[in-house]
Structure 1
Amino acid sequence: MKQFLIILIPLVVHFSVWGQGEEKVFAAPSSSFIDLSLQTHKGKLRFGLQDGYYIKSDGSYVKNNEASYFEMDKRFSHNNASRHAFIELLKIRFKEDMFAAMDKDYFTVRTPNMYDKEQKSYTAQQHVLTLANALCTAEQAIQFFCNIKEEVCGRVFPEEGYYNEPRNIRYWGGRGASEFQKLRAYTSFVKEKFPLVQEWAKTLYPDNEIKGYYVAKTYLGTYDFKEGGYWLRTGEFGNNGFLLRWFGLQPSNSSERKLVHPNGSSILLKMPAEKAETFSENYQYLFLVFDVTGQLIGLENYRADQLKTTFALNSHIIEIYTDDALTNRVGEIDINTMVSKTR
């Protein structure tokens, strides 16, 4: 008689007040993994530019001698680790064929001439290593990434309240581990922990659609007396933010297409001259917020292992704020009636 193991992992989502705003928490399916805490705006996920935590609503910075500094520092560490882990979990759905081909008993050695199955196995094993580094708590990471014969494990991993940096990839077994220790660590994670990771990934937006807000930052620039306002250049929005990138915008009408003109475009924030003088003395940058629906498309680049996403606008209103925490709203621009220009 065959026996089947069914793993049921509930997705527990709740909101907690962190820093200057709320964050959405995705509870881990096991105490072996960290919970993921992502920034929000008006109850929905925040994409693009993130709250820097260290900047107060009045524009001043939290100094390292202030009582709140270390609390902010730990919150930034958690959010930074969470964003990285969240994206790595989302990638799993687009690599099913690779994980199906992955060798769970031995390492796949990279060679110049690899068969397709070997290449898939090697790629999947590298992703598993990334996931283990991104998701394991410090206590759990010691089991997989610390060699007690060579290291003092308590000093190797982040202190309490801090999380592993995304760029910090530790290798199976820890420093100076033998081939036996490395393989034992790998097979232990793959067979005991990875099934939980795979099931967790399936619960995260299974329809590949995520509603939220895209946030962009732009320089205030020079006041245009003839037009009566400031020109905000969409080319300054950048493409290195969280999950969604500006070039992924899919315009649905001629007004939206003006935002992503191939030659670059600017939109006018109208403001009376008498108000603009004082305004420019207090603020150098503005933060634009778009209500959007993001789509997970696949992998942008097989070798670079980047998640491909696009997004569409849900509203024709662009909210304007003066702080990255999005607490000081100073205006809005209607996309349907905005004044724009191209280079």
Structure 2
Amino acid sequence: MKKLSLKYYLWAIAFVFAVHVHAQQESNGLLVFDPPSDQFIPIVLQSHKGLPRFGARDNYKIQNNTGKTPGRTVRPVRGSYDTEKSKEVGLGYRNFSLLLGLKYRTPFMGDLDRERLTTISGNMSQEQRNSAYLQNYLRNQIAQSMGTGPVCENANRGANEFERIRNYKAFIEQCLDPLVQWSQSFFKNEKMVGYHVSTLHVGNNYDFDQKGYWLVHPLQLNDVFFLKPSGIHSMTFLPSASFETELMKKTSSKNHVDFFLQMDEGTAERLMKEGISKLYLVKKIKMVYSGKPLSRPNDRLEFNYSHVNKEMDVYLDEALTQHFTTLSMDNLILKTP
């Protein structure tokens, strides 16, 4: 069983990382993170104001540009989407999550058997269990989702056990270290700043007395990462600024905020007639890896977040091109218990 000492492995990765820089490019609302080689596909994320966008995504509805209703909001053709672009972005978020999972499991790479496939049995040592989990993660998740060249794509393939071992060893020798190196370029200093987008459902239960809608905004974010394949836990809100602490004192739940969005009757009726039943709330957040010690590689990874500032923008469209209003967390109208 060929293994590398953890100290040597981390030193080697740090050295390689020091001499390689992975380009990040932004164009047309997309952030593209170039891979270390053509053996892997680039990671494509949506962006907002130059930073990564998480949460509710732009599904790339194809606009109806007939020009018959000048001066009004251009409504999308129902059910018409750019599916190829949506698929590319969806894969990008999945692979981003998988690379983060790889990054924070690197300390267990010393247990990885690089020569043989670890067979699962009832009397395995913890070291063998770690190897089995890592091999499954690399072969069934990373290689299947991120590989493009034959070496990386075939990590989990083979007509017989001899061919499967050869393919696995080729993947380890040629693909693993570049992937681990690439994973270190994300969440530098264990944090990342971006925008989170959530939906606000309007169109029903208009409050004619107070003129607006009572809405629910989640604080526990379950839509930043692909949770199941990466083994990442949801993003937990951890207040750090005074306006966040004051907000939590006024709410009855730690998981969501019930607040009132003021909107006059004319605007509410116009949005209803135009088929707009969802608004998009955008807030700038700082995501931080919790640093909670892992006893095994299959332990769930935990992340926290806080708000960079108190302002939250509301848009009419998922592409975030039609600004509706700006809210502030320090003067939200909250529902009292």
Q: TM-score, normalised by structure 1?
A: 0.78
Judged with a 3 Å threshold, the aligned counterparts in structure 2 of structure 1 residues 330 and 104 are, in CA distance, closer, same or farther, namely same
Judged with a 3 Å threshold, the aligned counterparts in structure 2 of structure 1 residues 74 and 259 are, in CA distance, closer, same or farther, namely farther
| Residue 264 of structure 1: how far off its partner (Å) | 5.1
| CA distance, structure 2, for counterparts of residue 63 and residue 263 of structure 1 | 32
Could you list the per-position Cα deviations for residues 141-194 of structure 1 after superposition, in whole angstroms to 9, with x for gaps in the alignment?
Answer: x44556xxxxxxxxxxxxxxxxxxxxxxxx7224xx100110011000001111
Q: Specify the alignment match of 1:88 in structure 2.
A: 98
* Contact persistence 2:235–2:303 (CA under 8 A): no
Could you list the per-position Cα deviations for residues 66-114 of structure 1 after superposition, in whole angstroms to 9, with x for gaps in the alignment?
Answer: xxx6xx3222222111111111111223212321110000011111232
Matches within 5 A, 1:29-178: 29-54=36-61, 56=63, 58-61=74-77, 72-129=82-139, 130-137=141-148, 140=149, 142-143=150-151, 145=153, 172-174=156-158, 177-178=159-160
Letter in 2 for 1:226: D
Letter in 1 for 2:277: Q
* Long gaps (5+) in structure 2: 1-10, 64-72, 227-232
Judged with a 3 Å threshold, the aligned counterparts in structure 2 of structure 1 residues 286 and 328 are, in CA distance, closer, same or farther, namely same
Q: Specify the alignment match of 2:207 in structure 1.
A: 224
SS in 2 for 1:207: helix
Q: Specify the alignment match of 2:237 in structure 1.
A: 249
Judged with a 3 Å threshold, the aligned counterparts in structure 2 of structure 1 residues 52 and 111 are, in CA distance, closer, same or farther, namely same
* Contact persistence 2:152–2:175 (CA under 8 A): no
Question: Do structure 1's residue 328 and structure 2's residue 319 form an aligned pair?
Answer: no
| CA distance, structure 1, for counterparts of residue 156 and residue 131 of structure 2 | 17
Q: Specify the alignment match of 1:28 in structure 2.
A: 35
Q: Specify the alignment match of 2:283 in structure 1.
A: 290
Match of 1:16 among 21, 27, 47: 27
| CA distance, structure 2, for counterparts of residue 63 and residue 233 of structure 1 | 27
Letter in 2 for 1:16: S
Per mean C-alpha deviation after superposition, the further-off stretch among 48-57 and 324-333 is 48-57
| Residue 315 of structure 1: how far off its partner (Å) | 1.5
| CA distance, structure 2, for counterparts of residue 14 and residue 265 of structure 1 | 35
* Contact persistence 1:9–1:200 (CA under 8 A): no
Judged with a 3 Å threshold, the aligned counterparts in structure 2 of structure 1 residues 328 and 11 are, in CA distance, closer, same or farther, namely same
* Contact persistence 1:258–1:265 (CA under 8 A): no
Per mean C-alpha deviation after superposition, the further-off stretch among 206-215 and 305-314 is 305-314
* Contact persistence 1:33–1:136 (CA under 8 A): yes
* Contact persistence 1:87–1:307 (CA under 8 A): no
| CA distance, structure 1, for counterparts of residue 38 and residue 116 of structure 2 | 27
| CA distance, structure 2, for counterparts of residue 260 and residue 246 of structure 1 | 21
| CA distance, structure 1, for counterparts of residue 89 and residue 263 of structure 2 | 36
SS in 2 for 1:131: helix
Question: Do structure 1's residue 281 and structure 2's residue 273 form an aligned pair?
Answer: yes
Q: Specify the alignment match of 2:4 in structure 1.
A: none
SS in 2 for 1:29: coil
SS in 2 for 1:199: helix
| Residue 261 of structure 1: how far off its partner (Å) | 1.9
Q: Specify the alignment match of 1:162 in structure 2.
A: none
Letter in 2 for 1:325: A
* Contact persistence 2:200–2:280 (CA under 8 A): yes
* Long gaps (5+) in structure 1: 147-170
| Residue 303 of structure 1: how far off its partner (Å) | 8.3
| CA distance, structure 2, for counterparts of residue 182 and residue 81 of structure 1 | 26
Percent of paired sites with the same residue:
23
* Contact persistence 2:285–2:306 (CA under 8 A): yes
Q: Specify the alignment match of 1:161 in structure 2.
A: none
* Contact persistence 2:248–2:254 (CA under 8 A): no
Per mean C-alpha deviation after superposition, the further-off stretch among 252-261 and 122-131 is 252-261
| Residue 259 of structure 1: how far off its partner (Å) | 6.2
Q: Specify the alignment match of 1:184 in structure 2.
A: 166
